[in-house]
Chain A
Amino acid sequence: MKLDSKVPPGPLEQKWERRIRDGRLISPANKRRYEIIVAGAGLAGASAAAALSEQGYQVKAFCYHDSPRRAHSIAAQGGINAAKNYQGDGDSVWRLFYDTVKGGDFRSREANVYRLAEVSMKIIDHCVALGVPFAREYGGLLANRSFGGALVSRTFYTRGQTGQQLLLAAYSSLMKEVARGNVKLLPNHEVLDLVVIDGRARGVVARNLITGEIRRDAADAVILATGGYSNVYYLSTSGRASNATAIWRAYRRGAGFANPSFVQIHPTCIPPLGDYQSKLTLMSESLRNDGRIWVPKKPGDKRPPNEIPEEERDYYLERIYPAYGNLTPRDLASRAAKRVCDDGRGVGPNGLGVYLDFSDAIRRLGVQTIKDRYGNLFDMYREITGENAYETPMRIYPAVHYTIGGLWVDYDLMSTIPGLFVLGEANFSDHGANRLGASALMQGLADGYFILPSTIAGYLADIPHDSRPPTDAPEFAEAEEQVRNRLRKLLSIQGRRTVRDFHARLGKILWEHCGMSRNRSGLEKALQAVAALREEFWQDARVPGDEESLNQSLEDAARVADFLELGELIARDALTREESCGCHFREEYQAEGEGLRNDEKFAHVAVWEFQEDGKTPARHEEPLRYEFVKMAARNYK
């Protein structure tokens, strides 16, 4: 597997400009003749489909929801970063770039991150033009707040519903292009395989989730913007349907999978309440602007929070990381929470929780200000837990939230399969080993609106626009046959256990051994346990119904079957990365409670290449060279 990052030469500030300047162009008359498939309609997919269509390409947009407006980007709460420096607090492209590289614990590609910081400003401009009702100051200009890992206020937001407003804007720009007749929209369609012909991505096989019909679609390029795979852990903050199938099938067809074990565990989620739980709910990181995190100093202190005097509380983030305090990056904040709970100082019924306390902020600013800033989050908390966070501190605990790993892409966002581009959370690109808050929305929209539409011409210009294969090519037939066989096989098991039962067990294995803290023996156990569970699944799962109509159990089963393969790769990746970096904390590699990187051996992206079932995948490396910043130990103290 060849891993050429294709980063343009030259000074950091000129690389992107240079790529655009040297990029190929396609005439408007010829653009119409290219057809591009976009799978996924979240921030990255919808924005890419819209922007490609605006440029004149023919686009087919697939999404498994009944409408593109439902993609899980919609649930992002806190905000989107941009280096506008509207606050005049010392922000710049360089600072956003540096914060992101440092936040990612020096495991990302410098050139990609710098470009992201550059493009961030255009995103805000475009979103305002599309009608995103960002929060404003009384003078009518845009307001900002702070997020973890930054000492400046560069986060733009619409209350606690920034993802919603950005997604609806991307959806609206997509619908504008659908209305123009340039995008063909295929809602209720799930992409179940990628078709590769002569080494190039040439189409997809998809299933109509309402009728069960399987269809083949050919294209000149295929874009996967199908989101992350947090649901491999069963409990996560993702939507229930979020899945890895499209990227996993692409991996099996030859796309490299980068850093699969880099999984972001978000520090502020509502703690799990019981076995019946179907998902976890995030409480936006923005709450850490005003909320203070603490636990009792004494282990086993069961007094209600309001009865614990100030001097008996441990505001542990402020204590350990005085410079960043409650706005310490997510990986460190999550691990610190785990540590205090492991010490027996956790709060709540099962001791898995820490307090997020607003009483100081309410005293300082008044209830109304807090209500204005976070009202919907406090309401949500009350609905779920039955508790009033204006009076008693919230209880929070880390939960799986975002997958930083994903399909490997080069600077042009192309995977190791020519013609297959991967955007947003589905790729591995810009967040290194830890993503900063409010950067996922930024990356999704940067990839979709601005980067891919500029880089894709470089690929398309090399292939003739009339070379789309017919959908009766043998490769299409083979892919469809595989899809059908797999669905039939799932239905034919007729075992005793439900798919959900397997999914929950897979999640437990990964959370225990491949979650916030990992070690060799645990990971080795996980490898075996996941393989054994997968075996059992194919013997004993029960999937009711048939494949020729709407069958939610079958949809679930196919996704969980892929998770059962991916889970093993995650553990394998975590096992082979013998260092701690960002979200990946190996207990063997630490000093004074902080992870220890090994830059000599592991300053690289680990990229996995599928071999065949039953064979260990091959591990490749893309070295990370830092030309413009110095790799250093992260310091938030």
Chain B
Amino acid sequence: MIRRKKRGGRDAGTPLGLFRLMKVRLKVWRQEGPNKPGRFETYETPELNPNMSFLEMLDAVNEELIRQGKEPIAFAHDCREGICGTCGITINGQPHGPGKGSATCQIYMRKFRDGETITLEPFRAKAFPVIKDLIVDRSALDRIILRGGFISVRAGSAPDANTIPIPKRTADLAMEAAQCIGCGACAAACPNASAMLFVGAKASHLGLLPQGQPERFSRAAAMAEQMEEEGFGACRAYGACEEACPKEIKLEVISRLNRDFTLALLKGEL
């Protein structure tokens, strides 16, 4: 029942406490500032417990760098449980790295082989300029929300919460879309750097609910328009966004967005 792994454990079935230490080599994108040239640098990690998270591995590397008097690798992170959307590293070419439905902070070293070389880059998209090393500026996503990613209701003015029954299925679908953590992996994964999954998720979440109906069409149209202005590309339905999404948000949200966008045109709400 319990197998001892020969190398740094690869599968999720290895029980804790049974492991061999591992080491990996990191090829990391280093860039001092927004308009500075960047380059890859290579680092050997110290010995690692395969149960470490990927970010804990980076912590260990940074501790070593600081002790050596070198500049640590800048990377964004906060909750370290896959919900705040702060972290985001392209690991071996995949935004958030290997593993479906995980943010970078939810990747564990047991997913990698002992001795493996791992490439770390920032999320790449025209609308996400690099701030430093692996940190990018994702304020474009906030500016999309500013164009209507909300329901205009004042605190204290709402009717009783049970006034409008909402079919469970509708609430569940809205919840699926509402799970978006705003990390930007969708745009980083897309060959066109399109943020349609992000925009679609918000338009779906609010557009499915009865409370979101009054602003449904103008919201969809304005957010899509802002997406374009920010320099995100158009959607060609490659599906790379769905693959990369740490919350496994479905392409359906883009279909709903497209439908609402078209209806907005017909209704003259654009």
Contact = CB atoms under 8 A, between A and B. Distances in A.
Interface of A: 47, 50-51, 54, 65-67, 69-72, 74-75, 84, 86, 122, 124-131, 133-142, 158-159, 161, 163-165, 168, 171-173, 175-176, 178-179, 187, 210, 239-241, 273-274, 276-279, 281, 348-349, 379-380, 382-388, 449-450, 453, 496, 498, 500-501, 542, 544-545, 549-550, 552-553
Contacts of A187: 139, 142
A453 B154 CA distance: 12
B151 A129 contact: yes
Contact of B171 (A47, A136, A450, A500): A136
B167 interface: yes
Contact of B16 (A86, A161, A380, A386): A386
B149 A172 contact: yes
Nearest to A71: B84
Nearest to B141: A67
Interface in B167-213: 167-168, 171-172, 174-175, 178-179, 181-182, 205-206, 209, 211-212
Contacts, number: 225
B40 interface: no
Contacts of B80: 239-240, 278-279, 281
Contact of A273 (B51, B166, B174): B51
Contacts of B145: 171-172, 175
A159 B206 CA distance: 18
B268 interface: no
Given A69-B85, A158-B175, A545-B71, A131 B206 contact: yes
Given A67-B182, A175-B145, A552 B158 contact: no
Given A129-B151, A386-B12, A544-B71, A349 B17 contact: yes
A70 B56 contact: no
B150 A164 contact: no
A51 B141 CA distance: 23
Q: Sort chain B's interface into a size bin.
A: 35 or more
B86 A47 contact: no
28 contacts: A66-B86, A70-B84, A70-B182, A84-B162, A124-B161, A125-B159, A126-B153, A128-B158, A128-B161, A130-B153, A130-B211, A133-B209, A136-B165, A137-B168, A139-B165, A140-B168, A141-B162, A165-B175, A171-B145, A175-B149, A179-B147, A239-B78, A274-B52, A385-B16, A386-B16, A498-B63, A550-B131, A550-B135
A278 B56 contact: yes
Contacts of B124: none
Contacts of B110: 386
Interface in B106-140: 106, 108, 110, 131-132, 135, 137-139
Contacts of A159: 175
A144 B153 CA distance: 24
B178 A165 contact: yes
Given A70-B86, A158-B175, A386-B12, A130 B151 contact: yes
A75 B84 contact: yes
Q: Which 6 A-B pairs have the closest CB atoms?
A: A140-B165, A129-B158, A172-B150, A349-B17, A133-B175, A239-B78
**Chain B's interface: helix, strand, loop or mixed, by majority?**
loop
Given A240-B80, A241-B78, A276-B60, A386 B14 contact: yes
B38 interface: no
A130 B150 CA distance: 7
A125 B78 contact: no
B199 to A, nearest CB: 14
Interface of B: 9, 11-17, 33, 48-49, 51-53, 55-56, 59-60, 63, 66-67, 69-72, 74, 76-86, 101-102, 106, 108, 110, 131-132, 135, 137-139, 141-142, 145-162, 165-168, 171-172, 174-175, 178-179, 181-182, 205-206, 209, 211-212
A141 B165 contact: yes
B221 to A, nearest CB: 15
A544 B66 contact: yes
A43 to B, nearest CB: 13
Nearest to B108: A383
A125 B138 contact: no
Nearest to A129: B158
Given A158-B175, A274-B49, A128 B211 contact: yes
A68 B251 CA distance: 26
B81 A126 contact: no
Contacts of B16: 273, 348-349, 385-387
B156 A550 contact: no
A54 B168 CA distance: 32
Contacts of B53: 278
A620 B62 CA distance: 44
A349 B138 CA distance: 41
Contact of A54 (B151, B154, B158): B154
A500 B182 contact: no
B155 A126 contact: yes
B49 A176 contact: no
Given A74-B84, A273-B16, A131 B211 contact: yes
B156 A66 contact: no
B14 A86 contact: no
Contact of A164 (B52, B137, B179): B179
Contacts of B182: 67, 69-70
Contacts of A165: 175, 178
Contacts of B141: 67
A129 B162 contact: no
A60 B129 CA distance: 26
Interface-centre pick from A130, A134, A135, A387 (highest chain B CB count, 10 A): A130
A179 B215 CA distance: 15
A176 B150 contact: yes
A98 B159 CA distance: 26
A549 B155 contact: no
A226 B140 CA distance: 25
B26 to A, nearest CB: 16
